Chains A and B, each alone.
Chain A
Amino acid sequence: MIDFLTLLQVLDSSLRLATPLLLVCLAGLFSERAGIFDIGLEGKLLAAAFVSAAFAAITGSVWLGLLAGILASIMLSLLHGLASITLRGDQIISGVAINFLAAGLTVVVAQDLFGQGGRTPPLKSGGRFEPINFPGATSSKGINDAGPLMQLYSELFSGHSLLVYVALLTVPLSWFILYKTRYGLRLRAVGENPAAVDTAGISVVGLRYSAVIIGGVLCGIAGAYIATSLQANFTKDMSAGRGFIALAALIFAKWRPWYALSACLLFGFFFAVDTRFQNILLPAWSLSGFLILIALGLLSYVWRKDYLDKVVLGGLALGISTIAIMIVFSVWNTGASSQIKIPVVFIQSLPYVLTVVVLAGFVGKAIPPRAGGQPYVKER
């Protein structure tokens, strides 16, 4: 078994890894609640990471970096707004284009400015967000001898960079804005039924632009966080699919701020486990039993469904039970208490698999805002 301190360390890094996810997830929340799908979160995150690292490296000030990162992200948001709100283009295509634009431009500009193969130089102390130590927290040397409460306080609560606390504060703030203010009510309405909002004499275009700009600000902070706090420079493609994971978390959270916090913490936990432990061992018999149960569940579900359901879900059940049987075979000789190593890639894929399960609606259906993805054409 792992001890309490190790658990705290894993939770600590879960929180750190969840922070960019959370900010980007809330960015997507505002945008999608207003009816604008945003596949381009990844691109905005990447662009903000680069611009903030570049500004912090050149000026030596992390605050200027943060500001520049936010501005860069807002610029891309406005491009997305221009394409999908003003010109009523396809929101998905616009997002895809923004992702590529960021992936290409960051490397081209980084190579031109710094000549280090698409990286920025390592940031010096003024160019980074330093961890904030709470009063009375023990340093990392004394942590082993401290009591459990002190360990909890020093390891988990204290010692994060400012942006982690900012991200945690944006959750209640977003909740308050969305559910307790007039603006939030209108924002949610514009994602469900823009025509009704328009009839009430409120600008659909204005509301939607404001939503994508809020999204831009949040993505900007997230980008600055990964380049100036999580790491201390920009590297090529450093967003590493976080924008898409945040999108997954958003669906997992069913477009709600507090759920988004738990979804992001859960996904952050997966990543922390994945980086901390190389070999994850699970009891083989219970695992295959669990898989067989899932397969049986699928089979009982499709029993009275039509042909297509039987083929697809039956095939899935067959695949899952094959894996279960293979696990049993591999431990046949080693007794009942044998354990099997779970490849790390499966832990990495878990957020995506869970999201697909939620999307499929077998476990709590996720219903997106009704007007999402459709440009609003004013009736003439």
Chain B
Amino acid sequence: MDIMPRWVDIIIVPLLSLFLAAFLSALLIIAIGESPIAALNLMIEGTLLRSAGWGYMLYYTTNFIFTGLAVSVAFHAALFNIGGEGQAMIGGLGVALVCLFIPWPHWTLAIVGASVGAALFGMIWAGLPAYLQAKRGSHIVITTIMFNFIAAGVLNFFLVDVLKPKGSMDPASANFPSTTHLPTFQDLASLFGFEKAFRSAPANVSFFIALLACVAVWYLIWRSPLGYEIRALGKSGPAARYAGVRPVKIIMIAMMISGALCGMMAINTTQGESERLILNFTEGAGFIGIAVALMGRSHPLGVLLAALLFGFLYQGGAELALWTKIPRELIVVIQALVILFTGALSLMVRAPLERFFMSLQKAKE
């Protein structure tokens, strides 16, 4: 553990993994018959050089911050929450119920109400697998996968049989009342006189809630007694138990925080963007949270940076699909490679680095 300096562990290893993933993706792009350099230029042009591009990127980033933080909190307790997708879906249901059935006077109140609804619903959906893990010993990975599918069924039922307005054909809820609509970045920019900035981009004020969530998670994990207990349990179960940590309680709390964060993703997508509840609004963000958490090494700052990167990839991927014959699914491949190199094959990335620093140390002696 102490062979490498801390900065290598924190900065070089993720960057090297990213570089490997990018290299393999470049080979794939060449195999398709396109130029990787041109593709990268196009991605930068469509994302970073236009304010609307930023608006889309930050919209995706908001989702990935929430799900990335969620996976991170669970990771700290040595739990693998693969059910972010389902928790977000049920969170969306919470948002929809709050927005549709409570007459909110203003969006500032509505966003608080919707956040509570989303967090509560996500919490309940993560709480059941957590309970089964804590009290019955059922493997949390399997139960959360099952709960993803059950959530899809529940969402489908509510959209088709309960929330769908009469006479409507597509499985979606009614539009939320206009008092619950969140201001987008375009609205915010026009307050300051920039009417043309962020035009029609979906990024909205929930981005700032995501940033707040980063700070809150940082405080929770590294500055609060509860976070200490979560990390202690994650590092060594028997030691934590000996020190008086109650595993059942910590597993429940960690998973419910995780579920609440996943659920809150829905204020961005459901209240902020579509302004009604639709099928498939999660678009796999729950799974991308895994890549984001691994890449960001489960630290809120790392998660923020990784979420920005994936936001860039998602918006850039859409640009590629629009202008070249590279399909959007290329991003899924990149995501898989990032998970592979930062998570499963991390020893392959670290071993040569460790050897290098070992030889440096020997040279010093």
Contact = CB atoms under 8 A, between A and B. Distances in A.
A80 B150 CA distance: 27
Contact of B336 (A37, A101, A353): A101
A98 B131 CA distance: 29
B329 A118 contact: yes
- Dominant SS among interface residues on chain A: helix
Nearest to B331: A104
Interface stretch (B173-181, B214-222, B342-350): B342-350
Interface string B144-171: 0111011011101100110000000000
Contacts of B290: 93, 96
B18 interface: no
B57 to A, nearest CB: 20
Contacts of A244: 145-146, 149
Between A82, A96, A308, the greatest number of chain B beta carbons within 10 A of the residue's beta carbon is seen for A96
A88 interface: yes
Contacts of A316: 128
A74 B344 CA distance: 18
Interface residues of A, number: 50
Interface residues of B, number: 56
B37 interface: no
A88 B329 CA distance: 29
A33 to B, nearest CB: 16
A359 B333 contact: no
Given A104-B336, A345-B157, A89 B346 contact: yes
A355 B145 CA distance: 11
A360 B131 CA distance: 9
B345 A247 contact: no
Contacts of A82: 345
Given A83-B345, A104-B331, A248-B146, A94 B340 contact: yes
Interface in A343-380: 343, 345-346, 348-349, 352-353, 355-356, 359-361, 368
Given A88-B347, A94-B344, A312-B128, A111 B325 contact: yes
Contact of A108 (B32, B142, B156): B32
B335 interface: yes
B136 interface: yes
Interface in B280-326: 287, 290, 294, 325-326
Contact of A356 (B127, B132, B152, B326): B132
A11 interface: no
Interface in A63-116: 82-84, 87-94, 96-101, 103-105, 107-108, 111-112, 115
B150 A100 contact: no
A98 B287 CA distance: 13
A100 B143 contact: no
B90 to A, nearest CB: 13
A329 to B, nearest CB: 15
Q: Helix, strand, loop or mixed for chain B's interface?
A: helix
A360 B132 contact: yes
A93 B136 contact: no
A103 B340 contact: no
B89 interface: no
Contact of A361 (B131, B138, B152, B344): B138
Contacts of B196: none
Best-buried of B33, B325, B327 by chain A (most CB within 10 Å): B327
A83 B340 contact: yes
A37 B161 CA distance: 38
A309 B135 contact: yes
Contacts of A94: 340, 343-345
Interface of B: 28, 31-33, 80, 82, 127-128, 131-132, 134-139, 141-143, 145-147, 149-150, 152-154, 156-157, 160-161, 248, 252, 287, 290, 294, 325-327, 329-337, 339-340, 343-348
Interface of A: 37, 39, 82-84, 87-94, 96-101, 103-105, 107-108, 111-112, 115, 118, 241, 244, 247-248, 251, 308-309, 312, 316, 343, 345-346, 348-349, 352-353, 355-356, 359-361, 368
> Closest 3 interchain pairs by CB?
A104-B332, A100-B336, A94-B344
